Amino acid sequence: MPDNPTPTSPRTRLAYNANGLRSVSLDEAVRTLADRGYDGIELSLNAQHVDPWTFSAANAARLRETLAETGMVACSLATGDPHLLSAEPFEPALVDPDPAERSRRLDLLQRSVRIGVLVGVPIVVLSTGRRRPEVGTAQADAWLDEALAVLLDTLHEALDAAGLPRGSTVLGIEPEPEFHCASNADVAAVIERTASPDLWLSQDLGHCVVVEEDALGSLARHLPVTRHVQVEDIAGGVHAHLVPGDGDVDFDAVGRVLAQGYDGWISVELYDHDPVHREAARRSREFLLERFPSLARPVGTVDLTALEARSTVSVP
């Protein structure tokens, strides 16, 4: 047996959410992450990068060109920007008691699904939003199921129109603290109820740590229905995204769980680190490469030191 055997776990790939680079253009965000050794970028709805009301086929073509030039992949489209529809964060929700308000959120998500297919991301991720105290669980579930049926129809229509096979792009639900679907189990129940091969769980490690009594166990149990994993650190159970290594999450244990069978994308999400995004991206990658065996790279991969040096050279 060789001294340093190649890991036998599936090789996952590492991405960084573009909502952590809102101060730069989408083109520059892709190039910045490529220069720091990332495999992909998680796109995020916002006015700076992917505006759901103005993003066009020309924008998508330009993005695909940049991805091709850099060797990067757009691994996901996250639709959770808090103020796309209201000054109140994440409102209106898919489970709002006002049908007109639910329709506003549904229209935004339908636009997002079409953009996701246009760009070619493998998954478009959404959340349910908060359930008002006067709304019962069963009623919220019914409204959510109705919305998901519409979104799945929209997805299939977009794929068919583009001549793409079903499954090329799927939908993911991300649990969010204090939302109608707040836990991995909540989303798993929706997936089982819907029984669609195009609906999956998008886990967020930090959310799991905040919400779940046994975060590591929940992460492991729900990997069979998971298509995407976001990571960040958490300190003291407070829902504030920190650079991996700056909180108290046991990333070595998380890495061992992921190495047992997860072969999807892992995406760093640090939406409030834009002022220091270059440093945050660098530190996150270095930390996770040491702790996630499934991110191990074969010999002959990119020299990050050389890339960092190149990225600091000024262009005359």
pLDDT score recorded for residue 21: 97
pLDDT score recorded for residue 11: 66
- CATH numbers and ranges of domains, the chain: 13-311 (3.20.20.150)
CB neighbour class for 51 (10 Å; exposed up to 12, middle 13-18, buried from 19): middle
- Calculate Rg over the CA atoms of the chain: 19
Give the model confidence (pLDDT) of 175-223 as tens digits: 999 999 999 999 999 999 999 999 999 999 999 999 999 999 999 999 9
Confidence of residue 282 (pLDDT cuts 50, 70, 90): very high
Mean pLDDT to the nearest integer, 275-281: 97
Give Cα separations from 91 to 75, 187, 202, 274, 311 (angstroms): 26, 20, 20, 23, 39
pLDDT score recorded for residue 297: 56
- How much of the chain, in percent, has pLDDT values that exceed 70? 90
Residue 256 has pLDDT above 80, yes or no: yes
Give the model confidence (pLDDT) of 294-311 as tens digits: 997 543 343 333 333 323
Give the model confidence (pLDDT) of 17-61 as tens digits: 999 999 999 999 999 999 999 999 999 999 999 999 999 999 999
pLDDT score recorded for residue 6: 34
pLDDT score recorded for residue 284: 98
Strand-strand pairing, 73-78 and 40-44 = parallel
Give the model confidence (pLDDT) of 108-163 as tens digits: 999 999 999 999 999 999 999 999 999 999 999 999 999 999 999 999 999 999 99
313 against 139, higher pLDDT: 139
Residue 291 has pLDDT above 90, yes or no: yes
